[in-house]
Homo-oligomer: A and B are copies of this chain.
Amino acid sequence: MTAVKLAVSAGEDQRDLRDIIAETGRKAREAARGLALASSDAKNGALITMAAMLRNFSHAILEANVLDVEAAKLAGRPSAFVDRLTLNPGRVDAMACGLEEIAALPDPVGAVMDHWTRPNGLHIERVRVPLGVVGMIFESRPNVLADAGGLCLKSGNAVILRGGSDGLNSCRAIHNALVSGLRQAGLPEEAIQLVDSPDREAVGMMLAGLGGTIDVIVPRGGRSLVARVQEEARVPVFAHLDGINHVFVHAAANLDIASNVVVNSKMRRTGVCGAAEALLVDEACAPTHLAPLVKGLIEAGCEVRGDANARAADPRVIPAREEDWGTEFLDAVIAVKTVAGLDEAMAHIGRYGSQHTDCILTEDAGAAERFLREVDSAIVLHNASTQFADGGEFGMGAEIGIATGRFHARGPVGVEQLTTFKYRVHGSGQTRPV
């Protein structure tokens, strides 16, 4: 068993926890060395077997999940929380399918990203290698364990996973299935380790980097978790704090396209980080476009908080307050504002956005080009829904998250973004002149 078993009584000696978690880090580092050199076949075989084991162990996983769900209900957790925690046969199968899809992706490790020959004959290659050890801190969704375990394995990284205490029984059962897959494929079981403790001290130790054994932290969960991780982590973090995404309907927007894209950007799913949170409408097209756009949103079930123009366009619009600009509603609510044109739209996005995903709707190629060039967000879209902000939709396969930082990984974080590179240089005895 590679899950870290811990006594968690109130009087427990913290030293025990510290020792055990530090040991987890050392084992992960050791596993990462082996995994970095594992063949694509071995890794893909493990992923396929892990998927089979999830299906084989489906009954045990669902039984364990019932314990978590009942405890969460007893503890009065909100229904959205209980829903995220709940597994069913379809969700377990979806986890297994996810692992099979990851197995089908090209192996990023060893890929030659670039190569060139110098005038002195040195041949230089830039080759992808794994990052090392990933620390994943997540909240209630137990499926994150399977997704993150699979993505890290594929990219040759060991992973240390620490889920929310509400899902501990579910996570143990899923982890058990993943480890069976690793074992059967002959890969190190410590490649995917679960920190099996509700003690928050464990998170603090992970954020400190576990004495140099964690290379990057990926948080998955609500804003407060991500904020804590960004504030306290002493190692790099792949994360986004907010997805305050804008759709700007430019003067030259096609109304049919705008109507579809605006509703899809906001309402396809309101709880995802790629959902639009604000609609900016160019005053030049507001007389024709604003009323139908607002109507479309309201009829799709969205609350619209708007400026005076939006309220004039539809009496159902609620007055927007200053704090509505720059709010990530993550709900069927949108803020709507008319702007004086492209420059005001971009200034608004620069002031209130979160550099995640922003979109312009226009038939004017020049305006689109300026928007895509000047808006400083990880993803900038022209005439397409913000809900495409997703590694799968980008063609990267699954994603471990979306990053709004500027370093290393930006936008969807898939298997390639979980690698770094090294330079391999072949010579024939070259020395460097003085």
Give residues in A with beta carbon < 8 Å to B: 36-37, 110, 116, 118, 122, 124, 129, 131-132, 215-216, 236, 254, 256-257, 260-261, 263-265, 268-269, 368, 372-374, 376-385, 387-388, 390, 393-395, 406-408, 410-411, 420-432, 434
Whether B236 contacts A429 by the Cβ 8 Å rule is no
The interface residues of chain B lying within 8 Å CB-to-CB of A424 are 372, 380, 382
Task: Find chain B residues with CB under 8 A from A427 CB.
Answer: 381-385, 388
A434 contact set on B, CB distance < 8 A:
268-269
- Known interface pairs A379-B423, A388-B122; A216-B431 also in contact (CB < 8 Å): no
Query: Which residue on chain B has the smallest CB distance to residue A118?
Result: B395
Q: How far is the CA of A265 from the CA of B420 in the complex (A)?
A: 26
Complex A-B, nearest 8 residue pairs according to Cβ-Cβ distance, in ascending order: A384-B427, A264-B431, A257-B429, A408-B408, A387-B432, A383-B427, A381-B425, A406-B420
Contact of A254 among B216, B385, B429 (CB under 8 A): B429
Most buried by B among A368, A410, A423: A423
Min CB distance A186 to B, Å, is 19
Q: A131-B406, A406-B131, A429-B256 are in contact. Are A379 and B422 (CB under 8 A)?
A: yes
The answer on a CB contact under 8 Å between A388 and B261 is: no
Report whether A429 and B379 are in contact in the complex, using a CB–CB cutoff of 8 Å: no
Set of chain B residues within 8 Å of A387, measured between Cβ atoms: 431-432
- Looking across the interface, which residue of chain B has its beta carbon closest to that of A272? B432
B423 x A394 contact (CB < 8 A) = yes
Compute how far the CA of A99 lies from the CA of B242 in the bound complex, rounded to whole angstroms. Answer: 40
Specify which chain B residues have a CB less than 8 angstroms from the CB of A37 in the assembled complex: 373-374
A408: chain B residues at CB < 8 Å are 407-408
Interchain CB contact under 8 A, B432 and A379: no
Task: State the CA gap A373–B132 with chains docked (Å).
Answer: 15
Q: Cα distance A374–B424 when bound, in Å?
A: 11
> How distant is the Cα of A222 from the Cα of B256 in the complex, in angstroms?
62
- Bound CA–CA A428/B261 (angstroms): 10
- Please indicate the chain B residues that have their CB under 8 angstroms from the CB of A411 in the complex: 422-423
A256: nearest chain-B partner, CB-CB? B429
How far is A408 from B246 in the complex, measured between Cα atoms in Å? 28
Contact of A429 with B261 at beta-carbon distance under 8 Å, contacts A407-B216, A434-B269 already known: yes
Q: For residue A126, which residue of chain B has the nearest CB? A: B411
- List B contacts of A429 (CB < 8 A): 254, 256-257, 260-261, 383-384
Query: Could you list some 21 contacts between A and B, CB below 8 A?
Result: A118-B395, A122-B388, A131-B406, A216-B407, A257-B428, A257-B429, A261-B430, A264-B432, A265-B431, A268-B431, A268-B434, A376-B422, A377-B422, A380-B423, A380-B424, A382-B426, A383-B430, A388-B430, A388-B432, A407-B408, A410-B422
Are B406 and A215 neighbours in the complex by a CB distance under 8 Å? yes
**Chain B nearest CB, measured from A407 CB (Å):** 5
**Beyond A378-B423, A385-B432, 16 additional pairs, beta carbon < 8 A:** A129-B376, A236-B407, A260-B431, A261-B429, A264-B432, A379-B425, A381-B425, A381-B427, A382-B427, A384-B425, A384-B430, A387-B432, A393-B432, A407-B420, A408-B408, A411-B422
The answer on a CB contact under 8 Å between A376 and B425 is: no
CB distance from A434 to the nearest CB of B (A): 6
B residues near A269, Cβ cutoff 8 Å:
434
Contact of A118 (CB < 8 Å), options: B393, B423, B431, B432: B393
- What are the residues of chain B within 8 A of A110 when measuring CB–CB? 373
Bound-state Cα–Cα, A264 to B431, Å: 6
Chain B hits for A256, CB < 8 A: 429
> Which chain B residue lies CB-closest to A110?
B373
Q: Given that A425-B382, A432-B264 are contacting pairs, would A395 and B124 also be in contact in the complex, using a CB cutoff of 8 Å?
A: yes
Q: Are A430 and B380 in contact (CB under 8 A)?
A: no
Decide: B385 and A431 in contact? CB cutoff 8 A.
yes
Q: Which residues of B contact A36 (CB under 8 A)?
A: 376
Q: How far is the CA of A426 from the CA of B363 in the complex (A)?
A: 11
Name the B residues within 8 Å of A260 (CB-CB).
Answer: 429, 431
